[in-house]
Each structure stands twice: as structure tokens, then as C-alpha cells.
Amino acid sequence: MISDLLDARPAVGYLLRRMTPMLGMIALASLSACSTLTPSATVTPPPSITSGPSSHALATRDADPVPADLLRGYAVASGQVPLADDDAAATMVNPINLDPQALARFGDLWAHLNASQAIVVADNPRIHAQLTWFTGHQAYIDRMTARASRYLAYTVAQAEARHMPIELALLPIIESAYDPFAVSSAQAAGIWQFVPGTAQVYGLRQSWWYDGRRDIIDSTGAAYTFLSDLYRKYHDWNLVLAAYNAGPGIVDRAITRNQAANLPTDYWSLDLPAETMAYVPRFLAVVDIVRHADRYGVHLTPIVDQPYFRVITLNKPIDLKAAAQAGCDAQELTLLNPGLKHAASDPQGPLRLLVPAQTASSFDLALQQLPAPERMLTQRYRVRRGDTVYHIARHFDMDVAQLLSLNHLHRLRLHRGQTLTVMAQNGDPARRSSRQEHHLRLRHRESIAHIARRLHVSARQLAAWNGTNPHHLLRAGSVVTIIDRPSGKAGDRHRIHYAVRRGDTLFSISRRYRVSVGEIRSWNHRHLNLHPGQNLVIYVASNEDDEG
């Protein structure tokens, strides 16, 4: 994972790191006696190349290794690389269709990678430990290469264009197993696993519609820029990779400690966090396996050494579902455009679509002739006196988060005359009239969460209605906004009588029977002042019980 530029570690973590080298010497010494790194290692037969469409299943349980940021000291010291937690999610895909003629004409991308020797793989027991794990997990390698088959040609080409070692295109194997939908516990995302802070530094935009960290083109450019910046600082690829994982601040402090103790300052001599102690050897092990797959008995499914996708520049936002109907496989569009969080372009850009390189040119014309999807149309709105973020969002049938993201706002406060971008088609009064707004004045100081429990709604929803957060504490006299929707016709229900209980409100009763406050008012007296024992007439659906 790319760590934030500043990193603080707890004291216990520091003690573990001080112990790691000693533990490593003991455990790795015993490991070397049972190493299985021989040319005669058992090889799992290569998977068959299917001709059917890719099977894309998000949140599918997988047994891929834990990302480097989750590794802990003991496992690293003993040379063990644990499997992923059973709850880990990975994107499962089939390998892309292999064209034997194209493979014969353009060659294998793995052979292309072998041509570079820019990154040196040392003879080191920490690398041997990682090699032992990889050579024993052919199934993992098959899954990883299936994911990488769509993106690897691009990452290799971009490294070459920047005159960087093309072995760096293998780094997403360590970061995410080449899963563009991967998200770590630290909220790092995409094949290069950018955390939000570093993503912002390197220009990866995030909005309600779009996440540049998951965009193959933008994230690859940002990752190589970051790696280039680190190389200008350290002039050593091992230190660069360590800083990419842990952050340059941690690497700098480790170098300073060694300098003060008159110790070497190369990567192998530094006392670094446990995850970083495993991260670089793990990458180097992958590099060595790609160079010498036959030696290690590992099968790498061939990938044609040609771009798998091409870029179509759009003249307007596009919906992926509509694009698929114009003549392209929907699953491929999803896999090639993972930055589109809601299966549609961000109106703010980038206005482009990645499609398989072999897609017919007629698709481009059909794509440009599609009308802009209704849910993508926007208009401008000028803030008036008394407007709030929530009321504007509700007026245009938007989420508060969507309104904030669309306008790059980081706080809820607005000022009169401010111009906002809102969704155009959602200002339809007929749609807005289906929502009814009610107000509750608080008699005592109360939290949003407590009010939500009292009204039988979620704290998150109540907070969104009022433009605040679920933990906010409201003062006595504050007015809370509540939204409900009318349900079906009264003729489809049966009449019951409900006896008001202590603590009841119109809204809590409406939630219980899945009707609106307005309907309860219309069935009874329009202005109701509830009191315990009062009888209310309510028309409920046939499957609702009479609790009165």
C-alpha cells in the first residue's frame, strides 16, 4: 500500500521491529533446511483458455495472499506469507481469450518483461522465503495473471515510455494482485493501492461519480510519477520500493538511525516495519519468477504482447449500460473502466471510455450518437437566503454526499448567491411532491442517534435529512426535519384503530404501519396533538397486523 507521506507507529510496533531481525535469523535458518526451490517442483497443469465471456464477480471470496500492509512481524520473520482472511474480497475473472496467431506474431508479454535486467534480485533468505510461498501456490498465480492480462501491457508500455525499469509493472501484483476494485483496510484503492492523501498529492481526483485511484490510466501515471520522485531521492530501487510501501519518512528515519550507529544504509540493513521487511523481498521474488518460471516450475498463462484496450474520447457523459447496448460486452466495460463508481462518466470528466482493442470502429460512432443519460444531466442553481445543503439536495432528488462531491465542497455551510451544480432532471415538482417534509421541535438536548431510535429511522438517514452527522448533539429548541413518502391507495388497505401510547409521535406511528404522516392527518383531524389513549384511524396494508 502507498502510505501517507507522514506516518506514526505505536511504541509496540517499534519494539516488534527491533526484534524482527533476530527472529528472522533464527526462523530463516531453519527454513533453509526445508526449502523446495528446485527445478523439479510440482507444476499444476495450466488452466484451459475459455472462449466464453469473462466472469466478473465483485466481493468474491478468494485465497490470495494478504496485502503487504496486513503482514505482521512473526509471519515475516518466519518466512511465512499468510493467506487472505476468509472475508477478503477479490475480483474473479477468466483469462482473456488467447489468439494463437496473435501470440505467434507479437510474442508473449512475459518474455518482453524478461528482457529487462534493470532491477537486481539478490541471493537473500528473505527472498527465498517468498519464492517458497509463490512456487507452492500455482492457483493464486493463475488468478493473478487472469486479472493482470487486461492491464499489464499498458503498465509495461508506460514504464518504457518513461524510461523506467519495466519490472515495476509487476508491482501491482504485490499491491493488489492486479485487482482494480481492491480496497485495503487503510482505504487504499486500485491496482496501485493509493491512499486518499497520497492520491490527492499526485492529482488523482475523487468524486461521487469517479475515483482516479481505480482508473487504470490515471493511477498508473500517478504511480510512476511517485516512483520517479522517490528514485530521484534515493537512487536505489530497493529503497524506492520500501518508501512506496511505508512512506519516505519511515525510510529516512531508519537510514538516520543506521548512520548514527555507523551501520550500512542499504535496504537489507535497515530496521523497517514488518510489512516493509516482507514487501521488497516479495516483489523481487515475483520478478525472479517471471524471469525464470521454468526453473521454479511455475506456469504463467501467455499474454499477447499488444495493448489489450484502446481509448475512445467522448463528447458527453456516458452510461456503461447504454454503451454495452451499443455493441460492447458489459463485463469488459466494467473491468476496463473501474474508476466509474456508478457505472457512468463523471460530468466533470475524464470523458473517455476504455474498450477492448479489437472492438469494431462502428461502435465509436454508435457511442457518440447515444443521448446523454438523464441521470447525468446537470444545471446551475444559485443559493438563496435560508437554503441548506440538505434542502437543495432534496429539492433536486440528490444525496447530500452527491451534491457535495459534484461541487467539490468539504463543508455543509453555504453562502447566499453561491452557484451550485445540481442534477437537471431531478427538479420535477411531480417527483418532489411524492416526498412530505415534517418538523419536530426538540424540548431537550438530544443526539441525532437518539432521535433516530425514537422515530424508528436510521441515524445516517436522519443526519442526511438535516445536513449533519449521526453523532451530532442538538440543543433544546432545535428543529429536526423528517421526510416520508406516501404509500399506496387507501382502497388497497383495511381500517384499524390505534391507541396512542406514551412516547408515540406521528412519525413513529407512520413508520410502524408504513404510511405517511400526511395520510394519518387526513384520516383523522388535520392538526393532531397526540396524547396517550387517543384513538387514531389508520388504513394499513392487508399483511399488517393491528397493534392497536
Among 175, 275, 332, 519, the one annotated catalytic: 175
Mean pLDDT of 232-244: 97
- Quick one: pLDDT at residue 493? 61
C-alpha cell at 268: 537489507
Distance CA 522, CA 516 (A): 10
Listed ranges 48-52, 428-432, 534-538; the one with the highest mean pLDDT = 534-538
Please state, for a pLDDT cut of 90, what percent of the chain lies above it.
40
Q: Is 506 left (phi over 0), alpha (psi -120 to 50) or beta?
A: alpha
| Window from 45-49, 98-102, 158-162 with minimum mean pLDDT | 45-49
- Name the residue among 505, 462, 501, 492 with its Cα closest to residue 480: 462
Alpha helices, DSSP H, located in 235-374: 237-246, 248-260, 274-291, 293-296, 320-325, 330-336, 362-368
| Residue with more model confidence, 431 or 382 | 382
Three-state secondary structure string covering 373-427 = CHHHCEEEEECCCCCCHHHHHHHCCCCHHHHHHHCCCCCCCCCCCCEEEEECHHH
pLDDT 10s digits, 105-118: 999 999 999 988 89
Question: For 545, how many CA atoms within 13 A lie in the half-sphere containing its CB?
Answer: 1
- Name the residue among 202, 248, 233 with its Cα closest to residue 7: 248
| Structural domains of the chain, ranges and CATH numbers in brackets | 52-296 (1.10.530.10), 309-373 (no CATH), 376-484 (3.10.350.10), 490-541 (3.10.350.10)
Mean pLDDT of 87-114: 82
| Residue with more model confidence, 472 or 377 | 472
pLDDT 10s digits, 390-418: 778 877 777 777 788 778 777 778 888 88
Q: Which amino acid is at 506?
A: L
Whether omega before 165 lies within 30 degrees of 0, making that bond cis, reads no
Instruction: Give, to the nearest 10 degrees, the angle between helix 216-234 and helix 237-246.
Output: 120
C-alpha cell at 58: 465483485
- Quick one: pLDDT at residue 529? 75
Question: What is this structure's pTM?
Answer: 0.62
Mean pLDDT of 322-337: 90
Mean pLDDT of 460-479: 74
Listed ranges 25-39, 184-198, 284-298, 403-417; the one with the highest mean pLDDT = 284-298
Distance CA 428, CA 384 (A): 19
Please state, for a pLDDT cut of 70, what percent of the chain lies above it.
73
Cβ neighbors of 55 (< 8 A, separation 6 or more) are 92, 93, 94, 331
- H/E stretch holding 352 reads strand 352-356
Mean pLDDT of 126-134: 95
For 488-517, give one letter per residue: b (16+ CB within 10 A) or e: eeeeebeebebebeeebbbbbbbbebebbb
Give Dmax (Cα) for the chain: 87
For residue 55, is pLDDT > 60?
no
Is 175 designated active site?
A: yes
Give the DSSP letter of residue 4: P
pLDDT 10s digits, 259-275: 999 999 999 999 999 99
